[in-house]
Amino acid sequence: MHKLYSNKLVIFSLVLPGLLTFLIAILAPIVLSVYYSLTDYSGLGAANFTGLANYAALVQDEVFWRALLNSVLLALGFICIQHPIAVLVAWKLDRLQGKAEGLLRCIYFLPNVISVAVIAYLWKFIYNPNFGLLQKVLELFGYEGSFNALGSGTAIWAVLVVLVWHGFGWGMLIYYTGIKNIDQVVYEAAALDGATSSQTFFRITLPMMKPVIKYNVTLAIISALKQMETVYLLTNGGPGNETQFMATYLYKQASGSYKYGYGNAISVVFIVICLAATVLMNKLFAERKEAV
Amino acid sequence: MVGQEKKGFRISTLLLIVLAVIQLFPLIWLIDFSLVESDQLFTSGILVWPSPFRWVNYTRALFESNFLHYLFNSILINALAVILVVVFATMASFACTRMRWELSGFVSLLLMMGLMIPIHATLLPNYIIFSKIKILDTILALLIPYVAFSLPQGFFLTSSYMDSVPKELEEATVIDGCGVYRTLMIIVLPMMKASIATVSIMTYLNNWNEFVMAMTFLSSPDWKTLPFAVLEFTGQYSSDYAIQFAVMTLSALPAIVIYILLNKNITKGVAMGAVKG
Amino acid sequence: MAKAVQLDTGKAPGAGANQKGGTTTKLKNLFSLLVCGSLLASTLAGCSGSSTAQNNTAASGGDDAVTIKVFSNLTDRTSGQGLIEQTIFDAYMAENPNVTIEVEALDDESYKTKFKAYATGGNMPDLVNIWCSPSFLDEVVAAGTLEPLNADDYADYGFTEGSLDGVTYDGQIYGLPRNTDVLGFYYNKDMFEANGVEVPTTWDELLEVAQVFQDAGISPISMDGQDKWPLAHFINCMIGTVKGADTYATMVNSVQNSDYSDPVWNDTISAAAEQASLLFQPGFETTDYATSLNLFVNGQSAMFFMGSWEMSMAPDFEVGYFTMPDFDGDGEGVIGAYNGGGYAVSFSSAVKEEAIALLNYMFEPENWSNLSWKNGVCMSAQDSTQYLTGNETALQNDIINALNNASGITGMTYNDLGDSAYKTLPEDSTAEVLSGMISVDDFFANLQNG
């Protein structure tokens, strides 16, 4: 091996830009976050060291647990509603062939490229009980009341629908390419054996898709945890705190109530939870892989 | 048996079409009501036929506002972010996969940490840091976090792709006396086309629609990006729904056009992200 | 003294006309009334602010180019208050060619969020919008974010007595109030006529009117429930009709001592919670400001509960205005009014003197006070009797009459009487109890424990 390949200066210059952005935009804020989370800093004036008081308060904060629960609910929604449909659609789409295949794939993915700002405002209009699309559709089916989807009790489901609708194409596309990668020979062999199409799906397609499904499920959980923008613009956590997620809650605490220290404590716990979830998913799936 | 299969096929095709309608209809509704008088939203029909088509909603949305300016900002910031991520990721990947040094594994791990860090958790402290180093309300306030949070994925994709590219050719050039940088430019980059396309697309998809940081870190219209146009317009034209709908349509349009143009590459990109990720 | 600014709009009623009309004396009454009312507000507890007062002589005549950054909550720059503000800025720039004014405008809720971000980052724009209440100012003033102003500068500005109380901490003023805000109901006169109903004068009549509209398939009152504070104002107005001149003292006492045992609380909250679904449009708790206004303007609701700053609305039907009908039916009470929005100069501003000069220019009586009234946009916090045109719109006259016929005003609402951290508690609780998410008992438990 050439000595140039172990030239420290060259190596340093190659990784420096990457490390620098990491330091400035990721590591430094985390360190700062940890520091502020140990203070009663309001965002104004001086910060007093208060130890773990913010964390102690956090454990007892119902809204925080609600936010965490909402993330779990959202992840379940992705995994139990969005993904089964996405797998089935991807499978059917693959067998469709021709122009329709490309067109439909394009349509399914379309909402995904549109800005969440547009999506959130659009759905706010759709959900409006006075003139929204949903209300008009319900009236078409003979419904006489006014249905406020963003109201208490249904708001979290309304948010879920928007997120499932918006992200559907992404999940579908990953499954779709996963299915495309399955060797046609396998299907031909199955057809020769006289397998019906549902048998093919459950006995061949699904098992061969395992790695893709694992990836997609991990992605769903992480994105459920990280959810912020759509919720922020659609409900801002309301009504009450029914649709609060960790990111919207930390934003509300810091920017709404001058609880900057507390907001940072949420940030820190938020990061720990995301790290833990990722590590856990990797462990879980890695072990399975060995078992298979 | 064959008949049953066919019937099943028909029903599933129907379901595929129903699903397509569900995915598409809200957008059709949006476009429809962007072309009518504002108060027609309150009429009872689900859709209305615009007569006449009120294109004036669009001309006003386009020219009575900063729309074009924001569009330009969005394109510029995203283009820069894509270029920087590709360059930084390729450099770091080369160092970590090809070159020999003790900390290689540790640095890789650091760079990939960002994959797990939720971007919004850095919002509050970054505001203070950016204000201390005086880059709030500048292009850097968006560019730095955009690059930082897209780099881990870019680095991951690039280095795993680089692993699969044969080393012999570049080793020969290095021995020929070309420096590492020249080797990187002349030999490695051309072989990386597929992964560069993927990294570019993923970076674009990550950042094009980003909203909360733009809202927090920017104040003057100088560098505001497209998602902001929607927020600004809903305030500016709060009483005119048709114009708001026109703005939403316009804001969605560039991304849709890019998607239609790059449809194949985006599909490939997402797929590659999945397989490698 | 600078020239009066000419407003560049054709649609504004009475623009250009400047004769004094018969309503002058009425408005004089109004202002003397405001004086009494606002005195109540002077009991406000203040935090200590850094009081390094300095004499600021207007100093924008220099040759050096100056950029003044303005942070405004008036997003619509082409009508209403936003147009008045922009018009004054444009005129100022025309008179002072070296000055450039850059406006960043965000809607109220985004504004408050961003304002806190600016305060935290220590990079507040030069001239900013404020709300003249403890819930907005306490922390900000205590942290020395705002530049103290010289009260003597405004001796001739005609600010009504008491109107500066909300911005006064330890005898030092930190901002200027923009308007005198009256809370009440805008109503669609055509719709009232078509359904054969009259303006309600008691709570029971209001319920009857609401029922008539419900039966006709029309939402009675359009309410901005998502922002929550209008709901608190609604309660405040109800209490005003019961407690009369004692309203403000009752609020302050309850908030400071966490004591809500006065029966007026239970009576009004219970009634409002019980009748909310009758009174307000479906989904009011998730309707934002713009949507609630649009529902009314587009004939989707018969009434709209909001402040007098919306008086420039111009729907294609005739609009009237009335204040909260008498809740306890004893024929006595005060109406909901206070000094809400205002302006202040950032302490850290690099162009402090220029920003103060601009602020002073805005509030020279011929400018804000004159323009806002003449164009039917709002009532300033200054004595603007001299700017009565006699061409006031019917809506403007309704609002003046409402003020003149009242025996006093409420002053600030309970949600604004604590600091910013406190504010979310009564607002969230009020929204939750009115939308039926929590019981009335829970509401009081929340407030007492908070």
Q: Which of B90, B94, B108, B120 best probes binding to A when mutated, by most A CB atoms within 10 angstroms? A: B120
Task: Please name each of the domains of chain C with its CATH number.
Answer: 24-31+44-180+339-387 (3.40.190.10), 182-337+411-449 (3.40.190.10)
CA distance A170 to B23: 13
Percentage of chain B exceeding pLDDT 70: 93
Return the pLDDT at C12.
37
- pLDDT of C43 > 50? The answer is no
Enter the CATH code of domain A21-291: 1.10.3720.10
A238 touches chain C (CB under 8 A): yes
Return the pLDDT at B2.
47
Helix (H) or strand (E) holding A215, with range, is helix A210-226
Confidence of residue B45 (pLDDT cuts 50, 70, 90): confident
- Whether C290 sits inside 8 A of B238 (CB atoms) is yes
CA distance C51 to C141: 10
Q: The tokens 């805005």 sit on which residue?
A: C362
Return the pLDDT at B7.
61
Query: What is the three-class DSSP state of C216?
Result: coil
Nearest Cβ partner for C294 among B215, B232, B239: B239
Q: At what angle do helices C247-257 and C229-243 cross, to 10 degrees?
A: 120
DSSP-derived pairing of the beta strands C337-338 and C181-188: antiparallel
Q: Where are the domains of chain A?
A: 21-291
Nearest Cβ partner for B12 among A92, A102, A126: A92
Higher pLDDT, C9 or A167: A167
Query: What is the three-class DSSP state of C188?
Result: strand
- Whether A257 sits inside 8 A of C120 (CB atoms) is no
Stretch A15-25: mean pLDDT, rounded?
A: 91
Stretch B174-201: mean pLDDT, rounded?
A: 82
Chain B residues with at least one Cβ partner in C under 8 Å = 38-39, 42, 127-128, 130-131, 136, 215-216, 219-221, 231-232, 234-239, 241
CA distance B140 to C421: 32
Q: B136 to chain C: which residues are within 8 Å by CB?
A: 121, 123
Question: Using alpha carbons only, what angle is made at residue C104 by residues B38 and C68, rounded to the nearest 5 degrees?
Answer: 145
Q: What mean pLDDT, rounded, does chain A reach?
A: 88
Q: What mean pLDDT, rounded, does chain C reach?
A: 84
Is A134:A127 a contact under the CB 8 Å cutoff? yes
Return the pLDDT at C32.
45
- Whether B209 sits inside 8 A of A271 (CB atoms) is no
Single out the residue of A3, C37, C306, A118 nearest to residue B256, CA to CA: A118
Contacts of B223 (CB under 8 A, 6+ apart): B73, B77, B137, B138, B139, B141, B142
Confidence of residue B175 (pLDDT cuts 50, 70, 90): low
Contacts of C206 (CB under 8 A, 6+ apart): C200, C279, C325
Confidence of residue C365 (pLDDT cuts 50, 70, 90): confident
C112-160 pLDDT per residue, tens: 888 888 888 778 999 999 999 998 999 899 889 999 999 989 988 988 8
Return the pLDDT at C63.
63
Confidence of residue C56 (pLDDT cuts 50, 70, 90): very low
- Whether A256 sits inside 8 A of C117 (CB atoms) is no
Return the pLDDT at C62.
52
User: For residue C240, how far is the Cα from the chain centroid?
Assistant: 16
Higher pLDDT, A11 or A255: A11
Q: A136 to chain B: which residues are within 8 Å by CB?
A: 44-46
Q: B237 to chain C: which residues are within 8 Å by CB?
A: 76
Return the pLDDT at A201.
86
Is C386:C374 a contact under the CB 8 Å cutoff? no
Establish how many alpha carbons lie within 13 A of residue B78's alpha carbon, considering only the half-sphere containing its beta carbon.
Answer: 25
Return the pLDDT at B221.
81
Higher pLDDT, B229 or A248: A248
CA distance A243 to A155: 7
Q: What is the ipTM of this complex?
A: 0.88
Higher pLDDT, C25 or C136: C136
Residue C12 distance to chain B (closest CA, Å):
17
DSSP-derived pairing of the beta strands C301-307 and C181-188: antiparallel
Distance between start and end Cα atoms, chain B: 41
Confidence of residue C14 (pLDDT cuts 50, 70, 90): very low
CA distance A46 to A36: 11
A82-112 pLDDT per residue, tens: 999 999 999 888 888 778 888 998 999 999 9
Is C283:C221 a contact under the CB 8 Å cutoff? no
Confidence of residue B276 (pLDDT cuts 50, 70, 90): low
Enter the CATH code of domain B65-276: 1.10.3720.10
Nearest Cβ partner for A240 among C282, C423, C428: C428
Is C324:C202 a contact under the CB 8 Å cutoff? no
CA distance A24 to B144: 8
A218-227 pLDDT per residue, tens: 888 888 998 8
Return the pLDDT at A53.
94
Return the pLDDT at B40.
85
Contacts of B83 (CB under 8 A, 6+ apart): none
- The two three-digit tokens of residue C318, written as one number: 């005739």
- Least confident segment among B156-160, B228-232, C186-190: B228-232
Contacts of C155 (CB under 8 A, 6+ apart): none
Confidence of residue B216 (pLDDT cuts 50, 70, 90): confident
Nearest Cβ partner for B116 among A126, A196, A278: A278
- Least confident segment among A120-134, A275-289, B36-50: A275-289
- Whether A258 sits inside 8 A of C116 (CB atoms) is yes
- Whether B235 sits inside 8 A of C121 (CB atoms) is no
Stretch B43-49: mean pLDDT, rounded?
A: 83
A105 touches chain C (CB under 8 A): no
Is C395:C311 a contact under the CB 8 Å cutoff? yes
Return the pLDDT at C274.
96
Structure letter (DSSP) for residue A232? H
Return the pLDDT at C3.
45
Return the pLDDT at B233.
81
Higher pLDDT, A65 or A192: A65
Structure letter (DSSP) for residue A11? H
- Whether C116 sits inside 8 A of A255 (CB atoms) is yes
- Least confident segment among A61-70, A176-185, B164-173, C240-249: B164-173
- pLDDT of C55 > 70? The answer is no
- Whether A15 sits inside 8 A of B122 (CB atoms) is no
Return the pLDDT at C421.
78
Q: Which residues pair with C101 in a beta bridge?
A: C68
CA distance B31 to B41: 12
Q: What mean pLDDT, rounded, does chain B reach?
A: 85
Helix (H) or strand (E) holding A17, with range, is helix A8-22
CA dist B105 → A281, A283, B96, B99, B157 (Å): 21, 19, 7, 11, 16
Length of chain A counted residue by residue: 292
Confidence of residue C30 (pLDDT cuts 50, 70, 90): very low
- pLDDT of C205 > 90? The answer is yes
Return the pLDDT at A287.
59
Return the pLDDT at C426.
93
